[in-house]
Amino acid sequence: MALKRLTSFFLTLPVVTALALGLSTGTFAKAAGGKTLVIALSSDSTGLDPETVENNDSGYVMSAIYDDLVAYKPGSTDVEYTGIASKVDISKDGLTYTFTIRPGIKFTDGTPCDADAVVKWLDRLLNKDNPNYYAKRPGIDSFVPDTFHNVDKWYKEGADQAVVHMTKPDGSFLNSLAMVWMGVTSPAAVEKYGLEFYKHPVGTGPFKLVEWVPNDHVTLEANKNYWKGAPKIDRIVYRVIPESTVRAIELMKGSIDVIADITPTDALTLEGKPGIHLIKQPGLMILGIALPTQTKPFDDVRVRQAFNYGVNKDTLCKFVFKGLATPMNAPMPPSQWGYDKTLPGYPYNPEKAKKLLADAGYPNGLDATLYIYPAQRSYNSAGGPAVGQAVQNDLKQIGVNLSLQQLEFGAFLAKTRSKEFSDLCLAGWSGDNGDPDNFLGALWRSNTLINTAHYSSKAFDDLLAKGLAATTVKDRVAIYKQAQKVLNDDAPWIYLNYATQMRAHSTKVHGMVLNPTAMFFGMDKVSKD
């Protein structure tokens, strides 16, 4: 998601390729000639090895570098066989998936992406004895445990088929395989770079890395031999511009072409401006504050519920988010199938919040610390400080002295994703695959790295397992509604809001389709006047 999305022990990357070509850092796009698309990001990538990093800024770049076995239909999270696999056969018992690999596809290092390569990719993810096992690099974050948790065998069959066998059915498996975090990596490049592969990404996608200057820009060059046809632009430059107002000004000046993440204020400024197109649609996103459920006083559900009643979500959405968000009533957004519109959520009720705190033994309130990040995220277009200050002011009315601690996003993730973390933190999610488990399981299943609330409930975990094993959408919806009810009552988060998904680009840019996952899929079809 992609808080996606995630942690890093940061990155001292060499400046490559541009120097080899005799070009100075930061001038590559201009000197190289041809059509360049410039995309503004609020933060730098933390790695470009798809199975080891889960934050949107990394995903924005990786979605142009890699292909998956299967893909999403443009503008949706419905799966179609337009990925590396031309066909997928699923056994009647739902345990065996046979992927027929398209002939002739090559990675951008020139090596073949065939059934052998796909099996080697799987082995790197699933075989702990593999010398290049993905989890050997410290500080990673990954969907691999969730995506492949029931897989026990992977092997080649015939000349062009890769087979995955499971011990239990998994209704989310194909949707998960289309996530940007499941990009198929070159076995030859993995072998060459080992644990440093995250700095040297090689996929089969429409673009390939030529330069990465940390905290400044990433430059991708078109893969002219792309198996779907050469891209319509020559390169993409992702510029890191933390200040939202600067991003908006640069777009209006024409020095950038696309803004990935937009603040509500800038959305109002940009809407209707000549030469600018603002895309808005319901977001597959949620925003909240994780409460440390294993740490006093937040191990008491009454305290967690009090914090929920103590925040005015309506005012937050109206004034901080300028009406471009709606209060959260359930732990999944309305755009996600399985969402339960009947849940009451936690309407603003400071008197009830005070009573709950008093009943829990805190009649005079309490002190707490909230960790925030500085920039905007796709699920938090207002940014960390604005949300933190609004929540701080609301909770003060119920006797809570909330102090704010701000960290740069990479440091924020490293801090809040540690097992020792015991404070409050901003938490959010933009859906990766359109499946309910990607929200409920990714955020609140026991012992997942992204579960910054350290929430653990056997009843909830059992419902998630039943949901994955169910074979019909109707059965899965019923199960996930039960799971949402458990989460609503247990209140591991302060449930804040659902964001409107937004992206702005120059009207000179054509063919850009906003995907619900927020990723830059289909960049081979994007053109520029």
- pLDDT tens by residue, 463-493: 999 998 887 889 999 999 999 999 999 999 9
| Tokens 């419905």, residue located | 78
SS (H, E, C) 364-407: CCEEEEEEECCCCECCECCCHHHHHHHHHHHHHCCCEEEEEEEC
**What pLDDT, on a 0 to 100 scale, did the predictor assign at position 33?**
62
Q: Looking at residues 277-302, what average pLDDT do you find?
A: 95
Region 13-17: mean pLDDT is: 40
Give the model's pLDDT for residue 8: 34
How is domain 28-65+196-281+503-528 classified at the architecture level of CATH? Answer: 3-Layer(aba) Sandwich (3.40)
**Measuring CA to CA, how many Å separate 366 from each of 121, 176, 224, 360, 425?**
50, 41, 60, 11, 17
pLDDT of residue 409: 86
pLDDT of residue 101: 98
User: What does residue 421 show for φ and ψ, rounded to 5 degrees?
Assistant: -65, 130
3-state helix, strand, coil in the chain (%, to 5): 30, 20, 45
Angle at 437 between CA 320 and CA 150, to 5 degrees: 150
Closest C-alpha among 204, 262, 214 to residue 238: 214
Within this chain, domains 28-65+196-281+503-528 and 285-502 share the same CATH topology: no
CA atoms lying within 13 Å on the CB side of residue 193: 18
Does the structure show a pLDDT above 90 at 395? Answer: yes
Q: Please, which residues bridge with residue 494 across strands?
A: 289
pTM assigned to the model: 0.79
pLDDT digits (tens, 9 = 90+) for 226-257: 999 999 999 999 999 999 899 999 999 999 99
Helix (H, G, I), strand (E, B) or coil at 248: helix
Nearest to 373 by CA among 402, 410, 400, 401: 410
DSSP state letters, 401-465: EEEEEE--HHHHHHHHTSTT--SEEEEEEE-SSS-THHHHHHHHSTT-TT-TT----HHHHHHHH
Is pLDDT of 62 > 90?
yes
User: Are 176 and 182 contacting, i.e. CB atoms less than 8 angstroms apart?
Assistant: yes
Provide the pLDDT confidence category of residue 20 given band limits of 50, 70 and 90. Answer: very low
**C-alpha torsion 67→68→72→74, nearest 10:** 0
| Burial bucket for residue 526 (CB in 10 Å: 0-12, 13-18, 19+) | buried
Three-state secondary structure call for residue 186: coil
Element (H, E) at 17: none
Does the pLDDT at position 11 exceed 70? no
Q: Do residues 112 and 118 make contact, with C-beta atoms less than 8 angstroms apart?
A: no
Measured in degrees and rounded to the nearest 5, phi and psi for residue 415 equal: -70, -50
β-pairing verdict for 366-372 and 400-406: parallel
pLDDT at 377: 84
Counting Cα atoms < 13 Å in the Cβ hemisphere of 45 gives 27
CA distance 66 to 2: 16
Give Dmax (Cα) for the chain. 71
CA angle 229–67–512, rounded 5-degree value:
65
Question: What is the average per-residue pLDDT within 212-218?
Answer: 96
Q: Which helix (H) or strand (E) holds 287?
A: strand 285-290
State the chain's mean pLDDT as an integer. 91
Torsion angle of C-alpha atoms 329, 335, 339, 341, degrees rounded to 10 = 50
Q: Which of 254, 153, 301, 315 is nearest to 504 (CA)?
A: 254
Contacts of 92 by beta carbon, 8 Å cutoff, 6+ apart = none
75 residue type, one letter = G
- Backbone dihedral region for residue 511 (phi beyond 0: left; psi -120 to 50: alpha; all else: beta): left
CATH topology of domain 285-502: Dipeptide-binding Protein; domain 3 (3.10.105)
Above 60 in pLDDT, residue 27?
A: no
- Cα–Cα distances in angstroms (integers) from residue 190 to residues 186, 196, 197, 228, in the given order: 6, 8, 6, 24
Cis upstream peptide for 231 (omega within 30°): no
Kindly list the domain boundaries of the chain, sorted by start residue.
28-65+196-281+503-528, 285-502
What percent of the chain stands above pLDDT 90?
77
51-55, 85-89, 474-478: range with lowest mean pLDDT:
51-55
